[in-house]
Amino acid sequence: MSDVAPSPPTLVSLPRHLGRPDFQEISKEVLVAADPFIGDASLPFLRQGLQEAGPSMLKVLGSVRTGPLQNTLPTEIPIVVNDSSASLPTHMMAIYGPPPQNPSAEKRKITLYPVHSTVLAAYCAKLPAFRPTSDAVMSATPEHIVREVTIPVRPICLPSPQTYPQLSSFLYTKRTDALLASMMPCLPPQSLANQSEIITFATRLAGTYTIHALLQHAMTVHGLWGNVCALGIFDDALWDTIDLAWQVLLTAIAIGTGNPQDMISSA
């Protein structure tokens, strides 16, 4: 039997820059559908209020418990909310990915994420209006009370379901430092404000992690970017963080593969 030559490594082509879609306004109708009490409040005013309340609302989401999905996706689902110190979730997002290229592959995985419709409606220009939620869910309650409520289920296909939690956390907290850290293989330095600092960090990554590991993190950034485009989120801080993460990882990959000239300018 003759020896079989090893397969050549798969070449991965990564764009130097991740493009941004054309800007799209947030629909007032979608906002009102998410929260009828918005009235004439401006979008900046609404976002400011959500940013202040966001961390508490995210904490409430972390306390939600629900049973496993059955064979079919329901239109509504009962949940238990163990922390009602802020607004209760209004909907359950049932997130799944694109159809597999292999027809014989297993069914697409669906993951449930509780959400507040107002938060998503305030940032996601391409997300259609949410179904109304009962007044019982919208009302505030003392935080020590465990609530059992039933909320509508909203199926949605995203390019990268696995990166949705990172994006959701950012929309609630607006913390760019936490988002950047979630896309890096290790904690980044506090400052990556110029090319020198980026190259220093990228060189450390290239000397610590394999190219495969760096590519995996680059794919995380690319997946999150795909979700942002699909949902129509036009947030400068979010885009700047994605661009920075992409630049760091591509620079690290260029250094690690012995081609620093591909990413590092001589200027």
Decide if 169 contacts 179 (C-beta within 8 A): yes
pLDDT given for residue 264 in this prediction: 60
Decide if 75 contacts 154 (C-beta within 8 A): no
Confidence band of 1 (pLDDT split at 50, 70, 90): very low
Domain boundaries, the chain: 25-157, 160-267
Q: Which of 249, 224, 259, 257 is nearest to 15 (CA)?
A: 249
Decide if 221 contacts 180 (C-beta within 8 A): no
DSSP string, 3-27: PPPPPPPPP----SS---PPP-PPP
pLDDT given for residue 194 in this prediction: 93
Instruction: Tell me how far apart the alpha carbons of residues 254 and 234 are, in angstroms, rounded to a whole number.
Output: 29
pLDDT given for residue 267 in this prediction: 41
- Return all residues near 220 (Cβ < 8 A) that are at least 6 apart: 160, 162, 163, 183
Confidence band of 147 (pLDDT split at 50, 70, 90): confident
Give the CA angle between residues 16, 21, 24 to the nearest 5°.
Answer: 155
Q: Which of 193, 207, 50, 191 is nearest to 121 (CA)?
A: 50
Is residue 243 over pLDDT 70?
Answer: yes
- Tens-place pLDDT, residues 100-135: 877 666 778 899 999 999 999 999 999 999 988 765
Decide if 166 contacts 111 (C-beta within 8 A): no
Decide if 63 contacts 82 (C-beta within 8 A): yes
Is residue 5 over pLDDT 50?
Answer: no
Is residue 231 over pLDDT 70?
Answer: yes
Alpha carbon separation from 142 to 6, 10, 149, 199, 208 (Å, rounded): 64, 56, 15, 50, 48
Q: Which of 243, 90, 125, 224 is nearest to 166 (CA)?
A: 224
Is residue 262 over pLDDT 50?
Answer: yes
Is residue 223 over pLDDT 90?
Answer: yes
Which percentage of the chain shows pLDDT scores above 90? 72
